[in-house]
Structure 1
Amino acid sequence: VLQDNMASLIQKIARQAALTFSFGSSTVGENKIYVQNFTKLKSLLTEIRAEDLNLTPRKSDPSVPISVPQNPPVTYMHICETASFSMGIFLLKSGTSIPLHDHPGMNGMLKVLYGKVKISCFDKLDKPFDASIDQFSPTLLSFQKEALKRSIFRSVGEYTEASSPCILSPQKDNLHQIIAVDGPAAFMDILAPPYDSDDGRDCHYYKVVHPACEREEDNLQHLVQQEVWLLEIPPPANFWCGGEPYPGPEVTL
């Protein structure tokens, strides 16, 4: 017990995540032990701050263009990964975003460390398309129509370091877009289980094609709680993620 009391907060979070997700996502339902462990993990994650991870909030640098190869719009600090979960920190430059993407069969927890992010969440619907698809999207090719996903635009909200974690599950809020608002931002991210293309957990990107939007981030808000159509797209050319060393306390599992 004494050793655990002396452990860093990030070490406690990692241990709790390992305990929570060690039995896989099949325990997510109404399993009482899982719910208790998940609640404890969320509580610990709510406490984490940038200074606990030796992370200094970045400032905007208008002299550096966002889109040069040496200057990725988003970077990632890897903290740890096991077969049951991964944990790391995403850093977003001012005005950048992580495009709309999914987390197949995965749980996620996102806690802002500094700055402000706007998160738009969607749920896929298991509903077939009907003939009206041609009326609304006459320019789509047949293979694109097959790639369309019906979904509900579940929510949009702004999160800061004072906010509780944003939670996603395999069924709810599984697709989301994250935009840095009014300056650089960083958040800690737990995914359970981790992405693994060999096990059917690859990341896919989407854009809203109906109702038509000129710029997704500006025009989505009025669509909350409405059905929208998403088209799976290649990774956007203006988005890529670089790597940075993690500066915080060591985590061992």
Structure 2
Amino acid sequence: MGFEWETTTDRSARMNRRRQRKQPLVRTLFETCTEVFANGGTGFIPPPADVQRLCSILDSMKAADVGLSPEMPYFRATKTGQAPVITYLHLYECEQFSMGIFCLPPSGVLPLHNHPGMTVFSKILFGTMHIKSYDWANDITCSSPTDAAVPGLARLKVNAVFAAPCGTSVLYPTAGGNMHCFTAVTSCAVLDVLGPPYSDRHGRHCTYYLERPLASFSVDGLSVAADEKEGFAWLQERDKPSDLFVVGAPYRGPKIID
């Protein structure tokens, strides 16, 4: 009868799996982010295996894992004529990454905005949401529009409704829908992991955009087939919308750091 000796690495992996099963999922998410983004910075893209690790954890997370339920005040419908107020729960932030939850009441909107030099994981914890996203169409050559306020041509990446439970969406610095807009069809909660986070000091500013139809501006050298024109738009920088109200609230879910 033979014997199989357990190596130190095997033992460590087994103990780590056991520990992760016992601890809150949000703590496991935090620890994995700490590893994945350890050497991150502007433009950093985690290796595919690490992207899958994070997605696997996020895909399994539910509202209860972060102490949320649809009955909480954050998700109540707004009175007619009032702009919906979005609540942001700050979980954690460091130089390499941040974790937070957007709580949207019905009809709440996070307007079209960008994530410069960032890789972003978004998980709908509950509810139904419309997501529209764009990437810059840098592969299409054309001169600048006659209106210099328009920064460039963008290609539509996503324009669909998603309902929990659904997979985690991932956007990258130049792909995957780096500029997106969230519109709550029902009350919903979205857990975001940003690597690295926004930072004015490092030039990672949040910029908002207006969508302009392709035909709105005349340019030279633009070649887009007629049946593809609906998949493009001009995106014009704008100030932060005056009807966007985001308020902070304390996170009361399971502890992330002891």
Tell me if 1:235 matches 2:240. Answer: yes
State the Cα distance separating 1:49 from its structure 2 match.
0.3
Q: What count of residue pairs does the alignment treat as equivalent?
A: 226
Return the alpha-carbon distance in structure 2 between the equivalents of residues 64 and 198 of structure 1.
39
Structure-1 separation of matches of 2:79 and 2:211: 32
The residue identity in structure 2 corresponding to 1:177 is C
Structure 1 residues 99, 205: closer, same or farther in 2, change over 3 A?
A: same
Amino acid at match of 1:74: I
Local SS of the residue matching 1:151: strand
Deviation at 1:179, TM superposition (A): 0.5
Which of residues 28, 34, 52 is equivalent to 1:18? 34
Deviation at 1:40, TM superposition (A): 1.1
Q: Does 1:125 align with 2:137?
A: yes
Instruction: Check conservation: 2:136, 2:155, Cα contact below 8 A.
Output: yes
Larger Rg: 2
Q: Distance in 2 between matches of 1:50 and 1:224?
A: 39
Aligned mates of 1:160, 1:230 — CA distance in 2: 27
TM-score computed with the length of structure 1 as normaliser: 0.81
CA–CA distance in 2 between the matches of 1:175 and 1:250?
31
- Residue in structure 1 matched with residue 168 of structure 2 by the alignment: 165
Please give the alpha-carbon distance, in whole angstroms, between the structure 2 residues aligned to 1:227 and 1:111. Answer: 26
Q: Is the 8 A contact 1:75 1:90 kept in 2?
A: yes
The one of 178, 182, 198 aligned to 1:178: 182
Contact 1:106 1:192 in 2 (8 A): yes
TM-score (structure 2 length as normaliser): 0.79
Does structure 1 residue 95 correspond to structure 2 residue 107? yes
Mapped partners of 2:90, 2:137: distance in 1: 33
Which structure 1 segments of 5+ residues have no match?
A: 135-139, 214-221
Counterpart code for 1:49: K
For 1:177-229, what per-residue CA distance to the aligned partner results, in whole angstroms no more than 9, with x for missing partners?
Answer: 00001x2111101000000011010100001122379xxxxxxxx97872211
The separation in 1 between residues aligned to 2:88 and 2:113, in whole angstroms, is 16
Segments of structure 2 that go 5 or more residues without pairing to the other structure are 1-14, 217-226
Alignment RMSD: 2.4
Q: d(CA) in 2 for partners of 1:101 and 1:196?
A: 15
- Contact map agreement 1:154 1:224 (CA 8 A) in 2: no
Q: Identity, % of aligned pairs?
A: 27
Is residue 108 from structure 1 mapped to residue 124 from structure 2 by the alignment?
no
Residue of structure 1 equivalent to 2:153:
150
